[in-house]
């Protein structure tokens, strides 16, 4: 009798150990980290205009920072395969907004989940309510970002658009670093610019609501969305933003490129 109990306990312990091993194996970033090679540079040149506009020295720094990002943040495909292009584009989206901040680390991010397409509020990948292409997690999803592969790639493939889903989500994450996702990235912005930035955000949100702006109307949802949407515009079409909104362009330069 005692032997049977011992056997059952032993079997249970062995099962637990096996389960732990298989789970930890699954969560390893399988071969995620590979140093940047020539074929990766070709992909960056093909898809990432921000990279193309850097000089050779800064391109090399950009590559190092992509490598570092891929060493520290896991990218996991959910019902989709994570290809090298996806790794490079997600890492680029993370580095582009904070490229001027040499020691920046995403302390609030452990993993990016890549879904094949858009999803709904409950993270369902099917149905008619799939309005989301990206999200920065909260609660049980703390330190996790979810991106739609399709929209994430489109942000880079279509170089004329003012949209870039992954940059949008990374800007939310930067905004969140000071504890509040409120459109004021206190870790980046100089104190003297906070008030002018608040005023400019309010003026532009008003203009969007009145239908007198070329900024994505989603930016009028609140200050946090305005900051994320206008940052996409800033990094995707800086020339156009400068022409249409010189004041916004000037303040965004103070926020993202204070050392240039």
Residues contributing to the site for Zn ion (CB under 5 A)? 225, 228
Listed residue (250, 232, 234) closest to 196, CA to CA: 250
Nearer to Zn ion, 174 or 228 (CB): 228
Strand partners, 113: 76, 146
Nearer to Zn ion, 86 or 225 (CB): 225
Smallest separation, CB 27 to Zn ion (Å): 27
Enter the DSSP assignment of 132: B
Smallest separation, CB 247 to Zn ion (Å): 23
Smallest separation, CB 40 to Zn ion (Å): 29
Bridge-based pairing state of the strands 134-136 and 144-148:
antiparallel
Nearer to Zn ion, 59 or 123 (CB): 123
Smallest separation, CB 176 to Zn ion (Å): 11
Nearer to Zn ion, 86 or 175 (CB): 175
Q: Measured between alpha carbons, how far is residue 86 from residues 43, 51, 259 in Å?
A: 10, 16, 30
CA distance 183 to 226: 7
Residue nearest to Zn ion according to CB distances in the complex: 228
Smallest separation, CB 204 to Zn ion (Å): 16
Nearer to Zn ion, 36 or 205 (CB): 205
CA distance 151 to 146: 12
Listed residue (208, 138, 141) closest to 180, CA to CA: 138
């Amino acid at each position: 009798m005692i032997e049977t109990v011992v056997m059952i306990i032993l079997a249970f312990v062995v099962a637990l150990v096996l389960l732990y091993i298989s789970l930890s194996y699954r969560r390893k970033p399988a071969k995620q980290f590979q140093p940047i090679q020539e074929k990766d540079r070709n992909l960056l040149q093909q898809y990432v205009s921000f990279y193309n506009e850097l000089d050779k020295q800064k391109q090399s720094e950009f590559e190092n920072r992509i490598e570092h990002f891929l060493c520290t943040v896991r990218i996991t495909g959910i019902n989709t395969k994570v290809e090298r292009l996806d790794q490079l584009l997600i890492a680029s989206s993370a580095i582009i907004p904070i490229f001027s901040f040499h020691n920046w680390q995403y302390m609030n991010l452990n993993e990016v989940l890549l879904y094949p397409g858009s999803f709904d509020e409950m993270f369902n990948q099917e149905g008619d309510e799939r309005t989301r292409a990206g999200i920065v997690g909260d609660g049980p999803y703390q330190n996790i970002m979810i991106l739609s592969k399709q929209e994430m790639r489109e942000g880079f493939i279509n170089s004329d658009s003012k949209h870039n889903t992954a940059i949008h989500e990374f800007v939310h994450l930067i905004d969140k670093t000071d504890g509040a996702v409120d459109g004021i990235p206190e870790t980046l912005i100089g104190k003297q610019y906070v008030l002018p930035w608040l005023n400019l955000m309010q003026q532009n949100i008003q203009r969007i609501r009145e239908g007198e702006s070329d900024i994505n109307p989603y930016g009028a949802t609140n200050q946090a969305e305005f900051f994320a949407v206008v940052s996409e515009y800033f990094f995707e079409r800086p020339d156009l933003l400068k022409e249409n909104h010189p004041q916004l362009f000037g303040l965004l330069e103070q926020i993202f490129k204070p050392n240039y």
